[in-house]
Amino acid sequence: MSAALCPVISENCRPSMSHLPAMNRSSTFVVLRADSPVILPSLLLCDFGNLEREIRAVEAAGAKTLHLDIMDGHFVPNITYGFTIVEAARRITDLALDVHLMIANPARYAVQFVEAGASLITIHAEAVDDPRPILDDIRAAGAAAGLAFNPPTPVSAIEPVLDACDYVLAMTVMPGYGGQKFTESVLEKVRLLREMLPPDAMIEVDGGINDDTIARAAAAGAEMFVVGSGIFKTPDYAVSMNKLRQLAQQKK
Ligand code: DX5
Ligand code: ZN
């Protein structure tokens, strides 16, 4: 099928090139490292009927980066949203946008998400045979490239491509839904990764991060903490984010 006929990649439905990333790859990481430990509110748990209000609220609460979960109903059982919400978030805010692709074919869509406004793109090791060319494409498009792995996946499965990653996302739940219970055994893999990765490569954790778990994840070596229900299901986002940041700094 030609591009002109393809309903997915025709020019009519490609995201507009006018929403280029607000920051390039190196300035994104300057911001992230300066903000470490980084608390990334996961919009999955926000009120999408009031998206701008929710984004303004986490901005006011001190967020420097937002986490957006893209689910396709194939790689994970759930379906969320796609380019239009990433573009909308990019129009609303200049914050860095961390786009977590839980999709079966990231090679086809990763660069389009950069064009939609993503500053960081995470693909899943379990979704592809060889992540390296996709990570290279993400970097070439101007975004930071991250590789995620699920709790059952061994670190040895991603070791050959760690040099192509700006950061690694250790999933602390099986991806698909917010509000799940943190998987304690992943912390051993975070410790192992911290020894293997160069100091400037960051480790992100996602799933079940809250007041009870964040300090242990930080002590294991994580510096980027995705938080959905621990922010959006609490009454005061600023109070919740400040407490999470303090707990991550204590590294108990
Ligand atoms: C789950 C998503 C997470 C989710 C986290 O697959 O990747 O980003 O929103 O939500 P909590 O913090 O509630 O586990
Ligand atoms: Zn996520």
The per-residue pLDDT for range 63-93, each reduced to its tens digit, is: 999 999 999 999 999 999 999 999 999 999 9
d(CA 18, CA 247): 39
The pTM is what?
Answer: 0.91
Contacts of 191 (CB under 8 A, 6+ apart): 220, 221
Counting ligand 1 atoms within 8 A of each CB, the residue from 173, 213, 234 with the most, and so the one to mutate, is: 173
pLDDT band at 45 (very low <50, low <70, confident <90, very high): very high
Mean pLDDT to the nearest integer, 172-181: 98
> What pLDDT score does 22 carry?
58
Strand ranges inside 23-75, DSSP E: 38-41, 65-71
d(CA 193, CA 206): 15
Counting ligand 1 atoms within 8 A of each CB, the residue from 43, 45, 65, 226 with the most, and so the one to mutate, is: 226
C-alpha of residue 3 to centroid of ligand 2, in Å: 30
Percent of the chain residues topping a pLDDT of 70: 90
Please name the residue whose Cα sits nearest to atom 12 of ligand 1: 228
d(CA 206, CA 82): 19
Q: Is the CB of 90 under 6 A from ligand 1?
A: no
69 included as an active-site residue: yes
Q: Which of 31-40, 152-161, 169-178 has the lowest average pLDDT?
A: 31-40
Q: Is the CB of 67 under 6 A from ligand 1?
A: yes
C-alpha of residue 44 to centroid of ligand 1, in Å: 7
Q: Is the CB of 69 under 6 A from ligand 1?
A: yes
C-alpha of residue 121 to centroid of ligand 1, in Å: 16
